[in-house]
């Protein structure tokens, strides 16, 4: 076990709610079509905020909850596939906003596996012994990457952010095991944010296409087929059985996928909590948002064994098992 402590959790959700019924006024869809296929009723979208704004709100709430000062932070990591800009990166903006003068900062993009991959990076930095306290945030404004005329994709995504504070500890808590896996040969199943090559020496100019494109059938098959394999590998590394895990906090992509996971593991669906009904898919933000809600309600507390499960764009899968 890597002796690490999740010292605080926090989330920030934009106020503007867009329901399935509202979507039906701008495209040919309905709640009756969307909800049975996805488990989504609503999503929240920004009106005048960007990704760094959402992440900054989370950072401020984390400091308030923990009583830490920004100067105590050694590093800030933001996982996002929807940054304000390529430079400056989102984590640097957050670092400046909260005046964390002693922290270095960087972004990480692992799309919907971003929470687990970010936790992996943060835990590795802390376990190296060179750093003691770090902040990790998953933040997304996916509404700017969605073509709101494309009803096959736009109904799925929302905006939001969540994060954690992590620190070294002498307590018998922390990261028990992890398993990360990439499937680059399948990457075209989820595409977004493609740039045009317009340099003075290029031949045919590649098309500029910022919007999401997803092969839903392939992604569903990938998630239901491959994710349980990686979950089993993580459990084997931890020396644990599926029954030993108190809760599985999975990326909130689709309720049907979550149901499939629970069935594959012979676990009660109650061990796979969801919140996509209210928020939709918030990519790197989804698991962190769910974690903070469960901590706030008392459903996640010290002493529990938690499996964090991420999967999606890349394609990629990540699983971490923690003793809280």
Which one of the listed residues 3, 251, 254, 275 is annotated catalytic? 251
Q: Is 213 assigned a catalytic role?
A: no
From the candidates 20, 50, 109, 281, give the one annotated as an active-site residue: 281
Distance, in Å, from the CA atom of 310 to the CA atom of 158, rounded to the nearest integer, reads 17
Is 231:260 a contact under the CB 8 Å cutoff?
no
Q: Report helix angle 31-38 to 255-264, nearest 10.
A: 30
Q: How far is CA 234 from the centre of its chain?
A: 19
248: tokens are 């599985």
Q: How far apart are CA 167 and CA 152, in angstroms?
A: 41
**What's the helix, strand, coil split of the chain in %, to 5?**
40, 25, 35
CB-CB neighbours of 239 under 10 Å:
9
- What distance in Å separates the CA atoms of residue 79 and residue 83, rounded to the nearest whole number? 9
Q: Which of 112, 213, 264, 301 is catalytic?
A: 112
Tell the burial category of 36 from Cβ atoms under 10 Å away from its Cβ (0-12, 13-18, 19+). exposed
Catalytic residue list contains 251:
yes
List active site positions: 112, 251, 281
């Amino acid at each position: 076990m890597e002796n690490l402590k999740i010292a605080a959790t926090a989330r920030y959700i934009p106020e503007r709610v867009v329901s399935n019924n509202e979507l039906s006024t701008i495209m040919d869809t309905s709640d009756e079509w969307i909800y049975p296929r996805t488990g989504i009723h609503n999503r929240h979208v920004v009106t005048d905020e960007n990704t760094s704004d959402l992440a900054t709100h989370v950072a401020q709430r984390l400091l308030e909850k923990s009583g830490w000062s920004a100067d105590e932070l050694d590093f800030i990591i933001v996982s996002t596939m929807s940054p304000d800009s390529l430079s400056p990166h989102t984590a640097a903006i957050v670092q400046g906003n909260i005046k964390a003068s002693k922290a270095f900062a960087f972004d990480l993009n692992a799309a919907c596996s971003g929470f687990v991959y970010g936790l992996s990076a943060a835990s590795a930095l802390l376990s190296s012994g060179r750093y003691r306290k770090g902040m990790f945030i998953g933040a997304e404004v996916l509404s700017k990457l969605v073509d709101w005329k494309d009803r096959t994709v736009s109904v799925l995504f929302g905006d939001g952010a969540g994060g954690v504070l992590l620190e070294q500890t002498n307590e018998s808590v922390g990261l028990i095991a992890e398993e990360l896996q990439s499937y680059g040969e399948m990457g075209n199943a989820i595409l977004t944010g493609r740039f045009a090559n317009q340099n003075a020496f290029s031949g045919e100019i590649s098309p500029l296409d910022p919007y999401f494109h997803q092969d839903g059938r392939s992604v569903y098959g990938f998630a239901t087929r491959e994710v349980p394999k990686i979950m089993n590998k993580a459990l084997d590394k931890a020396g644990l059985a599926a029954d030993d895990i108190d809760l599985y906090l999975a990326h909130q992509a689709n309720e049907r996928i979550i149901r499939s996971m629970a069935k594959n593991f012979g676990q009660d669906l109650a061990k796979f909590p969801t919140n996509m009904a209210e928020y939709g898919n918030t990519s790197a933000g989804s698991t962190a948002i769910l974690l903070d809600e469960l901590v706030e309600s008392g459903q996640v507390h010290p002493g529990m064994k938690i499996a964090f499960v991420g999967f999606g764009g890349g394609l990629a899968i990540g699983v971490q098992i923690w003793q809280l």
